Amino acid sequence: MADDCPKCEAGLPPWLATFADLMSLLMCFFVLLLSFAEVDAIRFKKMAESMKDAFGVQRKIPANEIVRGVSVIKQEFSPNMVNDPSPINEITQRTIENEREHLEVNGAVMEAAAKQIEQEVKQQAAEIIALLQKEIDAGLVSIETGGSKIIIRIQEKGSFSSGSARLDPGFIQVLDRIGDAVVKSPGKVVVAGHTDNIPISTARFRSNWELSSARAVTVVHSLLKNPDIDPARVLVEGHADSHPLVPNDSSKNRSVNRRVEMILERGDDLDNGETLLIEDKRGG
């Protein structure tokens, strides 16, 4: 009897039921995640376009425009015929001749200007010597010219006490006359202080650098009492014992090196290394 019953068809494998349950659970899980999530439409669109370009068919290929070169030879030169000489050499010669002529003219103008400035500097130096002849004879002041510069050297003797930056009252009138000469002389005014090589260390000055700078500042303050002197023209420098005129090997030489220099500069320095001495340098 049992043999007469038809055999049932074989069903699906047993593992398939478990796999279907797992897929259903995963689908429900991601549906819940999607329902709770906030979708950024702009970012989603960009991501979709990126995925489309990556996995889809790209119809448009972006390409930068290729910069086409320009032939300089083609612009500047023309094809040369066999019997037609090229004009390049002729153009080059004309260019060089024009430049040479221009340079010669500029050189002549600069040379003439330099000579004129030197003559004016010598004339101004002579006027300053006439104003300060008494102090020059006493060895308190010396004057030199070099190219476009007039150097007025004020010695320590008669102007400052030893180790002090206070101007002696009797020297104020001398600086007043120097100020009148500065007003008449155009250009920059550099006031530089110098000392000897004997170090100083006091409550007022820690070193020769401070002493030389303080003396230069004192001279500048005295000059600027003249309202006709523009403060923008004045420059203060302190050199201590770094620029001696003579070796610091004697008391006389050290007194020469203790000085304040007032340098009147006319434009660029045209000094060629030779200095014309107007008055002998005399130590205090």
Whether residue 143 lies inside any domain: the answer is yes
pLDDT beyond 90 at 26: yes
How many other CB atoms are found less than 10 A from the CB of residue 238? Answer: 22
What per-residue confidence (pLDDT) applies to 227? 87
What per-residue confidence (pLDDT) applies to 278? 38
pLDDT beyond 70 at 190: yes
List pLDDT tens digits, range 101-124: 666 666 666 777 777 777 888 888
Per-residue CA distances from 50 to 38, 40, 61, 62 (Å): 20, 15, 14, 15
Whether residue 236 lies inside any domain: the answer is yes
Side chain identity at 247, as an amino acid letter?
P
Indicate the angle between helix axes 208-223 and 172-184, nearest 10 degrees. 70
Whether residue 89 lies inside any domain: the answer is no
What per-residue confidence (pLDDT) applies to 281? 39
As a whole number, mean pLDDT of residues 217-243 equals 90
Q: In which band, very low, low, confident or very high, does the pLDDT at 45 lie, cut at 50, 70 and 90?
A: confident
What per-residue confidence (pLDDT) applies to 34? 80
Judged by DSSP in three states, 39 sits in coil
Indicate the angle between helix axes 172-184 and 88-131, nearest 10 degrees. 150
Whether residue 37 lies inside any domain: the answer is no
Whether residue 135 lies inside any domain: the answer is yes
Whether residue 196 lies inside any domain: the answer is yes
Side chain identity at 27, as an amino acid letter?
M
Whether residue 56 lies inside any domain: the answer is no
CATH code of residue 138? 3.30.1330.60
Q: How many domains does the chain have?
A: 1
Give the DSSP H or E segment for 143: strand 141-146
List pLDDT tens digits, range 122-138: 888 888 888 888 888 88
Whether residue 125 lies inside any domain: the answer is yes
List pLDDT tens digits, range 27-36: 999 888 888 8
Residues 247, 206: contact at Cβ < 8 Å?
no
Residue ranges of E strands in 156-274: 188-194, 234-238, 259-265
Higher local confidence (pLDDT), 162 or 80: 162
Q: Which range has highest mean pLDDT (40-44, 221-225, 278-282)?
A: 221-225
Q: Which range has highest mean pLDDT (30-44, 51-65, 79-93)?
A: 30-44
Side chain identity at 148, as an amino acid letter?
S
Cα gap 266→122, rounded to integer Å: 12
As a whole number, mean pLDDT of residues 265-272 equals 55
How many other CB atoms are found less than 10 A from the CB of residue 148? Answer: 19
Residues 248, 258: contact at Cβ < 8 Å?
no
Domain of residue 136 covers 111-277
